[in-house]
């Protein structure tokens, strides 16, 4: 792709600037406000002026939106007390100002272990707050494309949103491969086997499974285009919707619960040549998904 601007290589603030209409972003509690973590100094770790998350208001195609972007290179994007409170505050602000969407550019290992208990509680508060926004008919859209992926509590929050967009470089999961390996051994999950990691947690696999709705190239333009297409696209949760989800997840276990690797799952989903998926580009994956006979959904 010519003139591609890599989402993965930009920092959080740059991603926000490029996603929104030029010059339209107004940051809330930015670095000058210095709302920093009160806990990190105890561990001899420096704080960041924005506690690793950029939040604010802006426009996308002239429509009002709210946005949050996690800085994956600060504490792995982990959610601490202030970071979590900024996200909760943004969701509550959405209920007040009713934007066309709330975008969360997630890049996080989940709970910031350095803030342990405060981070754990914060993650659940963010989950409830996201579901409140969703229930109000305001779409919450997760964009996942950073090198650190979207793990732990943020992986849970991601699947509470109306839509999940991933690049083929991105990863989304609950526990990271390193955590599983250090707990259960390399035979359980070799975290250095990149192909295995991406087959298990990467954008292509999640897209084929249906855990991410939209797959894009690692390009700001592609993310922006897809994000704009989701403005106002609310998917309120109700009993029927959750009963449908229950059915989908039950069938997934019945059909593929015995599979040991992604290739086996893809084959059962109707992919004739699973060994080719790793080399396919986004457009080919999208065509493949569209032609699948057995829907994953």
CA distance linking residue 216 with residue 221, whole number of Å:
10
CB-based contact 153:116 (threshold 8 Å): no
DSSP state of 4: -
Please report, as residue ranges, which positions from 159 to 198 form the binding site for another protein (by CB under 8 A).
Answer: 159-160, 172-175, 177-180, 182-184, 188-189
Could you say whether residue 118 binds another protein (CB under 8 A)?
Answer: yes
CA distance linking residue 12 with residue 46, whole number of Å:
19
Could you say whether residue 49 binds another protein (CB under 8 A)?
Answer: yes
Please report, as residue ranges, which positions from 194 to 253 form the binding site for another protein (by CB under 8 A).
Answer: 200-201, 205-206, 209, 211, 237-239, 242-243, 245-246, 249-250, 252-253
Q: Give how far Cα 223 sits from Cα of 8, 20, 111, 196, Å.
A: 11, 11, 26, 25
Minimum CB separation of residue 166 from another protein in Å reads: 13
Residue 30 or 270: the one with the smaller Cβ distance to another protein is 30
Residue 73 burial (CB count, 10 A) = 15
CA distance linking residue 146 with residue 60, whole number of Å:
21
Please report, as residue ranges, which positions from 268 to 297 form the binding site for another protein (by CB under 8 A).
Answer: none
Supply 97's token pair.
Answer: 């100002």
Question: Which one of residues 79, 129, 140, 285 is an interface residue with another protein (CB under 8 A)?
Answer: 129
Please report, as residue ranges, which positions from 89 to 108 form the binding site for another protein (by CB under 8 A).
Answer: 89-90, 92-93, 96
- For residue 51, is it left (φ>0), alpha (ψ between -120 and 50) or beta? left
Could you say whether residue 111 binds another protein (CB under 8 A)?
Answer: yes
Residue 42 or 294: the one with the smaller Cβ distance to another protein is 42
Angle between helices 116-135 and 81-97 (to 10 degrees): 10
Residue 1 or 237: the one with the smaller Cβ distance to another protein is 237
Could you say whether residue 135 binds another protein (CB under 8 A)?
Answer: yes
What number of chain residues touch another protein (CB under 8 A)? Answer: 99
Could you say whether residue 127 binds another protein (CB under 8 A)?
Answer: yes
CB-based contact 49:71 (threshold 8 Å): no
Residue 221 or 267: the one with the smaller Cβ distance to another protein is 267
Q: Where are the alpha helices (DSSP H) in 136-278?
A: 152-158, 177-184, 194-201, 203-209, 220-229, 239-256, 262-268
Residue 92 or 273: the one with the smaller Cβ distance to another protein is 92
Supply 95's token pair.
Answer: 């209920």
Could you say whether residue 115 binds another protein (CB under 8 A)?
Answer: yes
Please report, as residue ranges, which positions from 137 to 156 form the binding site for another protein (by CB under 8 A).
Answer: 152-153, 155-156
Please report, as residue ranges, which positions from 3 to 32 form the binding site for another protein (by CB under 8 A).
Answer: 11, 13, 28-32
Could you say whether residue 265 binds another protein (CB under 8 A)?
Answer: yes
Q: Where are the alpha helices (DSSP H) in 47-176?
A: 81-97, 116-135, 152-158
Minimum CB separation of residue 24 from another protein in Å reads: 15
Residue 245 burial (CB count, 10 A) = 13
Residue 128 or 273: the one with the smaller Cβ distance to another protein is 128
Could you say whether residue 55 binds another protein (CB under 8 A)?
Answer: yes
Could you say whether residue 262 binds another protein (CB under 8 A)?
Answer: yes
Could you say whether residue 123 binds another protein (CB under 8 A)?
Answer: yes
């Amino acid at each position: 792709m010519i003139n591609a601007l890599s989402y993965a290589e930009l920092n959080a603030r740059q991603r926000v600037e490029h996603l929104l209409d030029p010059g339209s972003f107004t940051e809330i509690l930015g670095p000058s406000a210095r709302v920093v973590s009160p806990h990190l100094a105890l561990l001899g770790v420096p704080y960041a002026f924005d506690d690793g998350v950029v939040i604010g208001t802006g426009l996308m195609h002239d429509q009002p939106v709210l946005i949050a972007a996690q800085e994956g290179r600060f504490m792995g994007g982990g959610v601490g007390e202030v970071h979590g409170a900024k996200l909760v505050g943004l969701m509550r602000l959405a209920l007040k100002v009713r934007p066309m969407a709330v975008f969360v550019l997630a890049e996080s290992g989940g709970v910031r272990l350095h803030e342990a208990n405060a981070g754990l509680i914060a993650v659940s508060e963010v989950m409830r707050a996201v579901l409140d926004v969703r229930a109000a008919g305001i779409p919450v859209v997760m964009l996942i494309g950073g090198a650190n992926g979207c793990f732990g509590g943020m992986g849970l929050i991601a699947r509470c949103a109306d839509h999940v967009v991933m690049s083929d470089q991105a990863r989304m999961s609950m526990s990271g491969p390193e955590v599983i390996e250090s707990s259960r051994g390399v035979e359980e999950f070799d975290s250095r086997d990149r192909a295995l990691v991406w087959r298990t947690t990467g954008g292509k696999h999640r897209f084929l499974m249906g855990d991410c709705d939209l797959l894009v190239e690692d390009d700001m333009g592609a993310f922006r285009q897809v994000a704009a297409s989701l403005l106002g696209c609310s998917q309120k949760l109700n009993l029927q919707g959750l009963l449908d989800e229950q059915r989908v997840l039950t069938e997934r276990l019945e059909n593929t619960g015995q599979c040991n690797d992604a290739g086996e799952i893809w084959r059962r989903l109707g992919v004739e040549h699973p060994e080719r998926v790793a080399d396919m580009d986004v457009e080919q994956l999208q065509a493949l998904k569209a032609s699948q006979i057995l829907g994953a959904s």
